[in-house]
């Protein structure tokens, strides 16, 4: 199925093609995406309504998050992701648990490559969302992760963070596999907390790396 202009622009932001502060020009996007300007205009209006884009004079730029918005985003993410892990411990099939475990093993190959590890991290978290078997929770987490695209760095760029993040992923999988909802929820919330702490340190140090 062919993707619409909205999806294509959103994916470009998520992939770091357009970063916070970049200006989006309707005509340039239409040429790049190979579509007419009307669907691009409608997509830009929709993204502005969703706070993915912001006004800079007469121009639209990719929005950025200030410190308070970042804290709010991580607070909501920790609660919702923790709930997803709790529900996954209750509802995940044996096959879903094995897929999660395989992801942790396979993702070790990406240690030292923050961009690849960031993509793998998104897949891992998405798999937990799906394993919760709650469509409403998945929809809300999709919104949260869409806003994560507005972050200019990945916490996985920090020295040693890749290895510790995967160890945290393994602890989450172990709890889900054991059917221990409380442990899974606590492990995932601790994982998000550590990611937030690491991101704050990177931002304070002025480190900017591709998100992937």
- Domain contains 146: yes
Mean pLDDT of 39-53: 93
Does residue 147 share a domain with residue 101?
Answer: yes
**Confidence grade of residue 207 (pLDDT, cut at 50, 70, 90):** low
Overall number of domains in the chain: 2
Dump pLDDT digits (tens) for 69-93.
999 999 999 999 999 999 999 999 9
What pLDDT score was predicted for residue 74? 95
Q: Which of 62, 85, 104 lies at the terminal end of a domain, its last residue?
A: 62
56 with 145, same domain: the answer is: no
C-beta separation of 18 from 62 below 8 A: yes
Mean pLDDT of the chain: 90
Decide which of 62, 77, 110 is a domain's last residue: 62
pLDDT in tens, 8-27: 998 888 877 898 899 999 99
Is residue 211 one of the residues assigned to a domain? no
In a domain, 44, yes or no: yes
Rounded CA separation 63/19 (Å): 8
- 97 and 199 together in one domain: yes
- Name the one residue in this structure whose structure tokens are 């309504």: 49
Partnered with residue 62 across adjacent β-strands are 53
- Structural contact between residues 44 and 9, judged by C-beta atoms closer than 8 angstroms: yes
- pLDDT for 211: 42
Residue 52 falls inside a structural domain: yes
CATH of the domain at 157: 1.20.120.530
Average pLDDT over residues 62-68: 89
pLDDT of residue 93: 98
Q: Which residues, 6 or more positions from 88, have their beta carbon under 8 angstroms from its beta carbon?
A: 96, 128, 131, 132, 133, 176, 184
pLDDT band of residue 210 (cuts 50, 70, 90) is: very low
Domain containing residue 11: CATH number: 1.10.10.10
Contact present, 46 and 62 (Cβ < 8 Å): no
Which residues, in sequence order, are CB contacts of 84 under 8 Å at separation 6+?
128, 129, 131, 132, 134, 137, 138, 141, 188
Residue 133's φ and ψ, nearest 5 degrees, are: 55, 40
* Mean pLDDT, residues 134-155: 88
Residue 77 inside a domain? The answer is: yes
Residues 167 and 141 in one domain: yes
Q: Are 77 and 163 members of one domain?
A: yes
Same domain, 150 and 50: no
- Residue 77 shares a structural domain with residue 37: no
In a shared domain, residues 54 and 86: no
What is the C-alpha to C-alpha distance for residues 79 and 140, in angstroms, rounded to an integer?
11
Q: Are residues 20 and 74 in the same domain?
A: no
Residue 136, domain member (yes or no): yes
Domain match, 45 and 78 both: no
Span 101-130, mean pLDDT?
94
Task: Please indicate, yes or no, whether residues 27 and 74 belong to a single structural domain of this protein.
Answer: no
Residue 212 within a domain: no
Asked if residue 82 and residue 9 are part of one domain, the reply reads no
What is the residue range of 173's domain? 67-205
Asked if the structure places residue 156 within a domain, the reply is yes
Specify the pLDDT at position 212: 36
Measure the CA angle with vertex 52, ends 38 and 74; round to 5°: 160
């Amino acid at each position: 199925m062919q993707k619409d202009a909205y999806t294509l622009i959103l994916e470009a932001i998520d992939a770091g093609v357009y970063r916070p502060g970049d200006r989006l020009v309707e005509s340039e996007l239409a040429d790049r995406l190979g579509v007419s300007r009307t669907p691009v205009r409608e997509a830009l209006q929709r993204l502005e309504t969703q706070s993915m884009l912001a006004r800079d004079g007469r121009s639209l730029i990719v929005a950025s998050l200030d410190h308070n918005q970042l804290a709010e985003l991580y607070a909501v993410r920790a609660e919702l992701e923790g709930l997803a892990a709790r529900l996954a411990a209750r509802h995940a099939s044996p096959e879903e648990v094995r897929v999660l475990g395989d992801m942790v093993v396979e993702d070790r190959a990406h240690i030292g490559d923050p961009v690849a590890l960031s993509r793998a991290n998104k897949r891992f978290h998405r798999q937990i969302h799906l394993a919760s078997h709650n469509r409403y929770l998945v929809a809300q987490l999709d919104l949260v992760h869409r806003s994560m695209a507005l972050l200019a760095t990945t916490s996985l760029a920090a020295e040693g963070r890749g290895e510790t993040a995967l160890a945290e992923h393994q602890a989450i999988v172990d709890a889900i596999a054991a059917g221990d909802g409380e442990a899974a929820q606590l492990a995932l919330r601790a994982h998000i907390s550590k990611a937030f702490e690491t991101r704050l340190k990177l931002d304070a140090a002025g480190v900017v790396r591709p998100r992937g």
